[in-house]
Amino acid sequence: MKNIFTAIAAFMGCMMFASGAIAGGGSFESNTKRYVAPDRITWNHCYAGVKAGAESGNVEAVVNGLAYDYSQNGYIIAGAVGCRHQGLNNFVYGLEFGGGFTNADGSFASTNVEKESFLNVKGSLGYSFGRFKPGLFLGYEWSEDDLGDVNTWVGGVEANYRLAPRWSLDFTAQTTLDPGDGAYNGINIDTDNIKFLAGFSYIFPVK
């Protein structure tokens, strides 16, 4: 009989403890919450983008030993694809292929001279400050001009800002490093050119 009363008392004690725990909001399950760190902004990705801007160039055309200077100015619509990698100490390097169309034109010997399109390849090196990445680039560009195809080394500065995980805002300022050379019907041409572009890129993350 004593054992029965002992068992009943023990059962009643367990029930009172459980009732108190439930009333006080307690639980037999762990209340520990898992902490998930937010994704860190990195520049390891490939991308495709579009840009618009303007260009201005000073052109020297040599005809029969005589030099003629004129300017070419116009607007640009361009696109590019490339990939970047963020390495040691937040340095970011990349490779980009691009091209576009332009209506930059000028007047040479009473003749309208227009540039129509261009292609380029660029290597870049920048530094990541989280969402913001400034940098430098060096590349080679091929241009189609009414007087001939101008080929030249180019360089400049760029800046990219991550608006969202999949989008960045892009700025580019580019200049010729050596005057481009071309030839058309015996006319030799050299072009000093600058371009200013702004646009957006869609980012494809690299796993």
pLDDT in tens, the chain (207 residues): 445 445 445 545 544 444 444 444 444 445 555 654 445 678 999 999 999 999 988 877 777 777 777 788 899 999 999 999 998 889 999 999 999 999 888 776 666 777 888 999 999 999 999 999 999 999 999 888 776 667 889 999 999 999 999 999 999 999 988 765 665 555 666 778 899 999 999 999 765
SS3 90: helix
CATH code of domain 45-205: 2.40.160.20
Give the pLDDT confidence of 93-140 residue by residue, as tens digits. Answer: 999 999 999 988 877 666 677 788 899 999 999 999 999 999 999 999
Domain boundaries, the chain: 45-205
CA distances from 85 to 6, 72, 98, 198 (A): 72, 36, 18, 22
pTM score, whole prediction: 0.73
Tokens of 139: 């590349």
Tell me the chain's radius of gyration from C-alpha atoms.
33
Tokens of 190: 């050299």
Contact 182, 40 (CB under 8 A): no
